[in-house]
Chain A
């Protein structure tokens, strides 16, 4: 019996410390056949297993056409992710996946891509930003909007600055509380919409971050005239199985692990903003 919940062994090929609490693990399955057969789409996630400790859902941030490596950028917040932070190059963990429905990168072809993220930065959108930048000719303008609570909370600041230098790419940042060296906007994400000059009929929006931020941003974008079905969000819920069986990730009748984590606005709006759903 080959249970679909059984991980495969993978080796850490490279480890990058992004910030004091955020690290990236670059992985390769130790079984070459498993590695060769592994395919994923941006926005999908894996369950990473640390020996004797447990499993956590983590987005895949590498490029789906990079055949050599699977990258995960992880924030150390608790039991599993703290212990995983201590792993070094050459050490092994378990990986199963990919799971879920990723970003609508196909539907977005030929259109402008608008990324909205908030909080402490969000791994799922990093995958799609990199995906679009690598295939620049297939997409129109790329707009990246990020809101953070405090100016100091922005991670990957250099990365944002680098992105903002790219052609046909606009980066807009806002902090609800600015700071001395904060060159960007002050306020919540929606303050950015007027600055963005969105082509509302020709944009696909992809959002990820705290639910309150996504609700406010989604409403703001609808007001700007973006059709609801062109707005997508990546949701987060407790996940144990990742295959639609354990029940933990449910939002109403939706299973975030298999029906999501990426949902279109009309698919999920009835469940947004209701405390306890």
Chain B
């Protein structure tokens, strides 16, 4: 572990200036339209100072109080996902001349070194999964281009929401040493403890010339991490992947389907969901066309469409696909479950369906 230094809140702008000086565009969480969202931000003043979030199944509210902190909230609807895996983007375009000849051309995403400030440990875990998915095997050029030059300034969680269960999945509330951050913050009332997690991070941190964090500050951060772990109530059943095997006919699927709207909110906010569909958009000029991809969800009917029938006709089958993929089948693909305990699907589900409650009921078998 690299040595920890201390940056008082009053000097927060120095972190932004450091990153700008190194050529990064800075993105940071901000309170916008009633939720915390990542967006470009150049000034530390725009951080969500004094914001708290209240989250429960089907419920998310921001409240402002007099807290001197910028990160006294758990997470907003987005993780890093939309920054790397764009909700909609053009993969390539084609022009066709009068003779019918086609010319295909790649459409590359904008190249810009970006630094994201305020990445949560669960977001780092989800990023690792998306890196394995999009960069492993056939490499996804669009994801790779966005991923390149992405600097991650993570922050350990001090205020998990009621919906958080990262302690149970092992992905938070404190970031593990090799979890992929360049810089890591612990926020205290008077400022930040900073440490580096990569060569780039170390070089940047060196430029700030900050004093070492005191033993008392380090102790305070550690206590705060422990409290953040202890406060979490939710969890997943032990050996959940195993427990779900053989539950494909459980009556619970039908029960949850009676509440589920099949809106797909859970898949939009899930930081590990990667499904997308491709679509053609011919231009009005009649001689060119764009080939797009956009987020899709296993809750849509088109997702499993085969000519003449749907593989997954019912809501029960679609909810089952989502949960089984996340918790039972994911390990086959990525060596771990596809859930990082961020709790977003619980808060942002309009009817408050709770994946932890569903998994628990399913793993108990059918006596319910």
Contact = CB atoms under 8 A, between A and B. Distances in A.
B276 A240 contact: yes
B306 A236 contact: yes
Interface stretch (B58-66, B74-82, B140-148, B189-197): B140-148
Contacts of A237: 304, 306, 311
Given A92-B101, A238-B306, A51 B321 contact: no
Contacts of A52: 96, 280, 282, 289
A178 interface: no
A51 B96 CA distance: 8
Contact of A276 (B274, B282, B306, B314): B314
B interface, over-half SS: mixed
B308 interface: yes
B32 interface: no
The 6 closest A-B pairs by CB, nearest first: A253-B332, A276-B317, A247-B275, A52-B282, A253-B329, A243-B138
Contacts of B298: 247
Given A78-B307, A237-B306, A238-B303, A1 B108 contact: yes
B91 A5 contact: yes
Contacts of A254: 332
A94 interface: yes
Contact of B91 (A6, A236, A247): A6
A212 B314 CA distance: 19
Nearest to A245: B140
A85 to B, nearest CB: 14
A245 B133 contact: yes
Contact of B137 (A8, A94, A243): A243
Contacts of B305: 238
B282 A240 contact: no
A153 interface: no
Contacts of B137: 243-244, 258
A276 B320 contact: yes
Nearest to A75: B307
- What band does the interface of chain A fall in when counting residues whose beta carbon is under 8 Å from B? 35 or more
Interface string B281-302: 0100000010101001010001
Given A5-B92, A238-B305, A53 B280 contact: yes
Interface residues of B, number: 57
A77 B329 contact: no
B231 interface: no
A275 interface: yes
Given A94-B94, A236-B306, A248-B275, A6 B104 contact: yes
6 contacts: A4-B141, A52-B282, A236-B306, A237-B311, A241-B276, A246-B296
A237 B106 CA distance: 27
B333 interface: yes
B280 A276 contact: no
A126 to B, nearest CB: 19
B102 A92 contact: yes
B366 interface: no
Contacts of A253: 329-333
Contacts of B140: 245
Contacts of A247: 274-276, 296, 298
A274 B247 CA distance: 12
B214 interface: no
B312 interface: yes
Interface of B: 91-92, 94, 96, 100-104, 106, 108, 133-134, 137-142, 145, 248, 274-280, 282, 289, 291, 293, 296, 298, 302-308, 311-314, 316-318, 320-321, 324-325, 329-333
A125 to B, nearest CB: 18
Contact of A77 (B145, B293, B307): B307
Contacts, number: 128
B289 A51 contact: yes
A1 B321 CA distance: 34
Interface in A226-262: 236-238, 240-241, 243-248, 250, 252-255, 258
Q: Of B94, B298, B324, which is in contact with the most chain A CB atoms at under 10 Å from its CB?
A: B94
Interface in A36-85: 51-55, 77-78
Contacts of A246: 274-278, 293, 296
Contacts of B331: 253
A277 interface: yes
A277 B328 CA distance: 13
A269 to B, nearest CB: 14
Nearest to B329: A253
Given A92-B102, A237-B306, A252 B332 contact: yes
B311 A276 contact: yes
Given A238-B306, A247-B276, A8 B145 contact: no
Contacts of A7: 92, 94, 104
Given A4-B138, A8-B104, A54 B313 contact: no
Nearest to B137: A244
Contact of A9 (B101, B141, B276, B320): B101
Contacts of B318: 276
Contact of B277 (A3, A240, A244): A240
A159 interface: no
A1 B303 contact: no
Q: Of A7, A92, A245, which is in contact with the most chain B CB atoms at under 10 Å from its CB?
A: A245
Contacts of A236: 306
B171 to A, nearest CB: 21
A250 B320 CA distance: 13
A252 B311 CA distance: 13
Given A5-B91, A7-B104, A258-B137, A275 B317 contact: yes
Nearest to A255: B333
B248 to A, nearest CB: 6
Contacts of B94: 7, 51, 94
B329 A252 contact: yes
Given A4-B139, A92-B100, A248 B325 contact: no
